[in-house]
Structures are given as C-alpha cells and as structure tokens.
C-alpha cells in the first residue's frame, strides 16, 4: 500500500479549507513525509533542468516556486509543533531531518543548469508583471546567496557549513528550552510569599501540586517570573530567581556557551565563503537598512538621547528606594523591577495588578477580534469541529465583510513544559494560488499567558494585552494578505519591515475608546474606570528611556556577534560584557549572560536584525500618528494601511509601500517624541 494513503501528511486533507488533520498525525509520520516531500521537490527540479525549451517565467521560475508543495506542507506543520508542543521524539526527528533539508537546499541553490535558467529569466524580466519580476529577483538572489556562483569545491564546503549551522541551532534551541524548564523555586514558608499577588500564589500552589510538591513552586516561565521579580518582598529570593533566569544555558548541563561560539564562527565562514566580510554584511543586503554602518548609525541615533534620560530614570528609582530604607548605594538587577513598581505606585498611584480584574483573557480576545472587524471588516467564528494539536488550542474561521473565507486562525495561549517561552505568530500553511485556485493561509498565534486557576479565569496583565495585540498584528498581516506566489505573501518580508503590522497594533491598548469597549471587572461587570485608564496612559512612558536602552542593548549585542570578521578569542561572558558596556544602567551580575538563551539571534531570523524591533517602532510611531490625526477607527486610514501594508507582502519594496501609506520616508524623531524622550 502506498504510504500516501496511510500518512495524513501525504494526502489532501478531508477537512474544510484543507485544515490540518492533527487528530490523525503521529510522530512516526513526519520523517517519511519529509523524505517523500524532498523526493518530489527534487524530481520537479530535475524536470526543470531537463527542459529543452527556452527558459521562461512559467517553465522555470514558477515551477521552481511550486516545486516543494509537499515539503512546505510537512515543514509548516512539524516545525511549528516542535516550538509549541515539543517532545524528545520531535527534537530527535528535527536532528535527523536537518541534514536532509540542508542537502536539498544546497541541491537547488548550487545547481549550475538550474541557476543558468533562472538567471536567463532574471536578465530578461522587464516585460514581466510586478509580482513575477519580484519573485524572479528573489529566487535569483537566494540562489546567489545560497552558493550558486561558488566553485564545485566551495559548494561542497558551503553545504557542509550549512548543515553544521542548522544542527548547532537545533542544539542551541534544545538547550535553551531544557535550561528554562530545569529550574524551579519551591517555597515552604508562607512568610516568603510576602508581596506576591494572590493570583500568582494560587498558580504557584497549583504548579507545586503538578510537580508532586508541597508549598508553592515558581518556574522561569514569563507569567511567573515577571510578577515574581516585580512583587516579591524577599530580596534574596528575587536574587535567586534573577540569577537563574539570567544565566540560563550558561554553564551546567545545558550549556550553550560553546554553541554560541560555534554558531558565530560557522556564520563567519559561510559569509566569507560567499564573498562578504561578515555575517551581518550578508544578512543586511536584503534589509531596509542595507549596511552595518546604517544599523549602527540608527542605534546610536536612538541611544545618544535615550541614555542620559535612562540614567536619570534609574537614579529616580534609586533615590525613592533609599528614601524607603533601601540600604545599598546601587540598585542591583534583581532590585530594579521591584523598586520601579513601588515608585510607579507612589508617583502615579498605579499598580498594574489593579488592571487584571478588568482584563479577562476571553474578553480581551473578543475585543481584539472586534477591533479587526471595525478596522478591516473581519469576523471570527469558533470552529469546534476542527481538530487541534493540544486541548488548549482553539481554531477560528475568519471571513471578511463579504463572507469571503480569509484564513483559519489557531490560538494557543497558556504555558507548558513542551512549549518554548515567549509569544509568536506563524503559519501552518501560507497563502498561494494553485491551478488558478486561491489557497488561504492557516495562521497560528502562540503565547505564554497566565493560566486560569481553580477560582479565577485567565486574567492577563496590560503588558500581556499589548503582547496579544502585537502577535495579532502579525496574524492580520497573514490573514489579509493577497497575492499569487507563496514566497511573496503574508509575513515573507524583510525582518526590519515585518514588525510594523504587529507593533502598530499595540497602540490600541492605550486608547480609552477601545479599552472601555470591553474591559469590565470579571466579577462585578463594572466598566474600567476613566481614572484607571488615565493612569495607564500617564504611565505609558514611565521609564521609557530605560526600556529603550535595554532593547538597544540587545541590538548592539546582536551586531557585535554578527559583525565579527575573525573569531574572537574571548569567552562568551567577556565578549558580551564588552559589547554591551555602552548601554550599562545597572551593575553587572557575575554569571549573567544574555547570549546563551538569545534564541532570536542564535536560532531565529533576527541574526544581525534585532535592531528591527526598534526600526519597526519608528515605522509604527510614524504610521500610527496618521490614525491619531484622522481617528483610531478611521475607515479610510485603515483601508490604506490594509491596501499598502497588510495585504502586500513582499510584492513591492517595503520603503515604497511605507511611502505609499505615509506619503514620506519614516522619521526616527517620531519614536523619540512618542516615548517622551524628546519634545
């Protein structure tokens, strides 16, 4: 019997819209499906190579674009599940699959006959339509950047280095997750819980029960770690938690220190083999900011005015703490969140815990859906008939105001040991056209929000609300995407443009009209009071320079690793200390290390691109000012944003798309002004 008949990954889904048959997929299906997908893709490539007809867009570029249909399907499901609901078995499959995928990618990018055909279309693309020209250019450049111009000897070297890098990144990711899960703090004395919110104490009691422990257990998942550091009165416990979090995968059983160095040296080799000085030079060629100098100029443009303000903010918190009996001359890293919160409460009479009763997760989700309806005419219908990969997951059928199906939207909100930390949006399947028929995307939003407890629903923080809006903005980018070619649709844009749709959505979390449309006390039903909203808005820029410098710190660290032209002789801790010195606001902590758990740059798409978050903040600050000018629900502005940004994908240069929406180039001053750092 053909494996196609028994393997759900190798046959057409029988579900509406081709939804993933999660109820039928088992771990043993993945490896055979990957192998079959690679086999099919290679066969199509071989057909293109053997074609005796003159190369055209249709017989070369388009066939190559569509060559990996099965492979794309399998990879889209597997790698997303590996992040959201992993297991040792899935991690091992990833290790086995990685060299197969690398070998296939090199097979395509370094094939001289295939490259000559693509090059011929690229050099005679003037009569192609805009998206066809864009796709041809993207494939041509990806082949060049994938080693097509290398000698046969160097192609083999490139293939080996690419496989090595992929395996190192898998090892890094595995270690970071394992190190996060390895630590927990169990408390037996109720006095040690002083200062902690009741909801957090209840979660800790439930986690202790899950682990077969008495008392209260706290782990390093963000919904536990963040409030613990903000509210725990016992300084020694804050220090213990901070040091555990800040030293994840730095030393010990799951040490990533050597992995960081190996990833960096391998990237240098790859970049220089391809003719670039550094990995950053290689990456930035395809970004809005095209060079390392442009990135450093941008980071400096924000740091120079922000750093003195940030130092003033830290001093203000220290002065307040010392006035309240804090005996030290300096705030340590485990003190800042705690005393900053105390100062904020005193100065603004505001405690973020006051907000949680008004931010019940289900209400927030409905409000975000309603916002998408008001701005873009979208409707979200819960589909309980469609299978999901974990009981926590829900799936929605998204339609526009005409009833047109736009996407299936999967949401997965709560932390678990099998899920990596953080929040992200991704796709099980992108948007494309096949045989003249449009295939809409399967979009996924994953977070680690506060779980419901025995006595309370999931009550999220205002920060978590902004996170929801942020990831939902990415989701809208996929849901509203239009286009013929999968490589150019949804979020397949440059890293320093992809955060614009997400970060602009965060602004609504500070708008009175939006908040009062849904934020009601989960027990009394009372609408969130105006006074509380005024405090949210008043504190919006509280310590904004401090947080800006902290984010810039990550950007400088990223660039330091990826602008190396020869391998450093320093260890990871020494290198990091030197790279981040200019952004120092608090005393260093021995053993603390960002790099060894910095998955964004060592396993994700943000290597030499972490600055993108700040660059996108500039874009969104400038873009949202138009909403503020015309109205936050203004249909004309929303339609322009949809038409010029959300729907366009990579069909046109992002700088051109921004100018179409805003009428000019972005201005960094817009962000400094928004943050209150300059008037």
The residue-averaged pLDDT of 664-674 equals 89
- Residue 628, token pair as written in the block: 């503020």
399-407: long-range contacts, CB 8 A cutoff, minimum separation 24:
400/376, 401/377, 405/17, 405/440, 406/378, 406/440, 406/479, 406/480, 407/440, 407/441, 407/442, 407/443, 407/478, 407/479
Per the listing, tokens 């979208």 go with 378
The residue-averaged pLDDT of 467-476 equals 98
The residue-averaged pLDDT of 175-197 equals 96
Q: Work out the pLDDT band at 4, boundaries 50, 70, 90.
A: low
In tens, the pLDDT along 418-457 reads 998 889 999 999 999 988 899 999 999 999 998 898 889 9
Q: Burial of 117 by CB count in 10 Å (0-12 exposed, 13-18 middle, 19+ buried)?
A: buried
The residue-averaged pLDDT of 581-606 equals 95
φ, ψ of residue 444 in degrees (nearest 5): -130, 135
Contact 553, 595 (CB under 8 A): no
pLDDT, the chain, mean = 95
* Cα angle for residues 150, 156, 157 (degrees, 5° grid): 85
- Integer Cα distance of 640 and 413 in angstroms: 31
In tens, the pLDDT along 300-349 reads 999 999 999 999 999 999 999 999 999 999 999 999 999 999 999 999 99
Identify the CA nearest to 341 among candidates 354, 327, 328: 354
pLDDT at residue 2 is higher than 70: no
Which residues fall within 8 angstroms of residue 84, CB to CB, at 6 or more apart? 389, 390, 412, 418, 419, 420, 444, 446
The residue-averaged pLDDT of 473-477 equals 98
Identify the CA nearest to 539 among candidates 324, 354, 367: 354
> What's this model's pTM, rounded to 2 decimal places?
0.86
Q: Work out the pLDDT band at 679, boundaries 50, 70, 90.
A: low
Alpha-helical segments (H) within 146-197: 152-182
Among 41-45, 154-158, 424-428, 493-497, which stretch is predicted with the lowest mean pLDDT? 493-497
> Which pLDDT score, from 0 to 100, does residue 158 have?
95
The residue-averaged pLDDT of 81-98 equals 95
Contact 338, 232 (CB under 8 A): yes
φ, ψ of residue 664 in degrees (nearest 5): -165, 175
What is the percentage of the chain residues whose pLDDT exceeds 90? 94
What are 379's strand-pairing partners? 399
Quick one: fold of 3-149?
1.10.1370
In tens, the pLDDT along 403-416 reads 999 999 999 999 99
pLDDT at residue 396 is higher than 90: yes
pLDDT at residue 668 is higher than 90: no
| 96 flagged as catalytic | no
pLDDT at residue 388 is higher than 60: yes
Architecture of the structural domain at 356-540:
Orthogonal Bundle (1.10)
The residue-averaged pLDDT of 335-364 equals 94
Residue extent(s) of CATH 1.10.1370.40 domains in the chain: 3-149, 356-540
- Integer Cα distance of 467 and 545 in angstroms: 20
> Which pLDDT score, from 0 to 100, does residue 421 have?
84
In tens, the pLDDT along 536-577 reads 998 999 999 999 999 999 999 999 999 999 999 999 999 999
pLDDT at residue 352 is higher than 90: no
User: Cα torsion at 456, 461, 467, 469 (round to 10°)?
Assistant: 80
Which entry of 65, 163, 471, 506 is annotated as an active-site residue? Answer: 471
pLDDT at residue 184 is higher than 80: yes
Count CA atoms within 13 Å of residue 224 on its CB side: 27
pLDDT at residue 144 is higher than 70: yes
pLDDT at residue 350 is higher than 90: no
What are 442's strand-pairing partners? 408, 429
Q: Is 443 helix (H, G, I), strand (E, B) or coil?
A: strand
pLDDT at residue 75 is higher than 70: yes
In tens, the pLDDT along 79-89 reads 999 999 999 99
Q: Work out the pLDDT band at 1, boundaries 50, 70, 90.
A: very low
The residue-averaged pLDDT of 221-245 equals 96
């Amino acid at each position: 019997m053909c494996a196609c008949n028994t393997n759900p990954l190798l046959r057409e889904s029988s579900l509406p819209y081709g939804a993933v048959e999660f109820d039928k997929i088992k771990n043993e299906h993945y490896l055979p499906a990957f192998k079959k997908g690679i086999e099919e893709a290679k066969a199509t490539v071989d057909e293109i190579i053997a074609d005796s007809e003159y190369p055209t867009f249709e017989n070369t570029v388009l066939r190559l674009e569509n060559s990996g249909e099965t492979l794309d399907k399998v990879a889209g499901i597997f790698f997303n599940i590996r992040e959201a609901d992993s297991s040792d078995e899935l991690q091992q499959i990833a290790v086995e699959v990685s060299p197969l995928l690398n070998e296939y990618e090199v097979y395509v990018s370094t094939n001289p006959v295939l490259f000559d055909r693509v090059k011929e279309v690229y050099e005679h693309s003037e009569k192609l339509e805009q998206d066809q020209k864009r796709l041809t250019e993207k494939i041509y450049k990806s082949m060049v950047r994938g080693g097509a111009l290398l000698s046969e000897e160097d192609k083999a070297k490139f293939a080996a280095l690419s496989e090595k890098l992929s395996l190192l990144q898998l090892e890094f990711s595995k270690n970071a997750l394992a190190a996060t899960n390895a630590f927990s703090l169990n408390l037996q004395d109720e006095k040690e819980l002083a200062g902690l919110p009741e909801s957090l104490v209840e979660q800790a009691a439930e986690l202790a029960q899950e682990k077969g422990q008495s008392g209260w257990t706290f782990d390093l998942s963000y919904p536990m770690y963040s409030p613990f550091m903000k509210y725990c009165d016992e300084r020694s416990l804050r220090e213990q938690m901070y040091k555990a979090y800040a030293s994840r995968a730095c030393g010990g059983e799951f040490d990533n220190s050597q992995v960081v160095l190996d990833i960096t040296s391998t990237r240098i080799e790859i970049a220089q083999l391809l003719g670039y000085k550094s990995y950053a030079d290689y990456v930035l060629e395809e970004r809005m900011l095209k060079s390392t100098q442009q990135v450093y100029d941008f980071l400096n443009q924000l740091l120079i005015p922000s750093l003195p303000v940030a130092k003033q903010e830290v001093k203000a918190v220290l002065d307040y703490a010392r006035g309240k009996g804090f005996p030290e001359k300096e705030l340590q890293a485990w003190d800042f969140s705690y005393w900053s919160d105390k100062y904020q409460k005193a100065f603004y009479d505001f405690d973020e815990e006051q907000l949680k009763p008004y931010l019940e997760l289900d209400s927030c989700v409905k409000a975000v859906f309603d916002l998408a309806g008001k701005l873009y005419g979208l409707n979200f219908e819960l589909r309980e008939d469609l299978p999901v990969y974990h009981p926590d997951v829900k799936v929605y059928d998204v339609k526009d105001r005409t009833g047109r199906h736009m996407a299936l939207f999967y949401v997965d909100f709560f932390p678990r040991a099998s899920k990596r930390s953080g929040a992200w949006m991704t796709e099980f399947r992108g948007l494309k056209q096949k045989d003249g028929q449009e295939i809409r995307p399967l979009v996924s939003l994953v977070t680690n929000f506060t779980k419901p407890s025995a006595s309370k629903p999931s009550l999220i923080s205002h920060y978590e609300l902004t996170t929801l809006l942020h990831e939902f903005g990415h989701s809208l980018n996929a849901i509203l995407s239009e286009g013929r070619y999968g490589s150019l649709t949804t979020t397949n844009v440059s890293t320093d443009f992809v955060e614009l749709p997400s970060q602009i959505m965060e602004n609504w979390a500070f708008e009175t009209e939006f908040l009062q449309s849904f934020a009601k006390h989960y027990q009394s039903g009372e609408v969130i009071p105006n006074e509380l909203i005024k405090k949210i808005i008043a504190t919006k820029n509280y310590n904004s320079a401090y947080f800006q410098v902290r984010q810039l710190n990550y950007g400088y660290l990223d660039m330091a690793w990826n602008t190396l032209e020869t391998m450093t002789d320093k260890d990871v801790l020494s290198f990091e200390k030197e790279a981040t010195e200019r952004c120092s606001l608090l005393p260093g902590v021995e053993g603390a290390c960002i790099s060894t758990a910095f998955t964004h740059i060592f396993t994700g798409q943000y290597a030499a691109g972490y600055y993108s978050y700040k660059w996108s903040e500039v874009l969104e600050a400038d873009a949202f000012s138009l909403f503020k000018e015309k109205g936050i629900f203004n249909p004309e502005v929303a339609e322009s944003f949809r038409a010029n940004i959300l729907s366009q994908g990579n069909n046109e240069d992002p700088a051109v798309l921004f100018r179409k929406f805003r009428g000019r180039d972005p201005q960094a001053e817009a962000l400094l002004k928004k943050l209150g750092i300059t008037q």
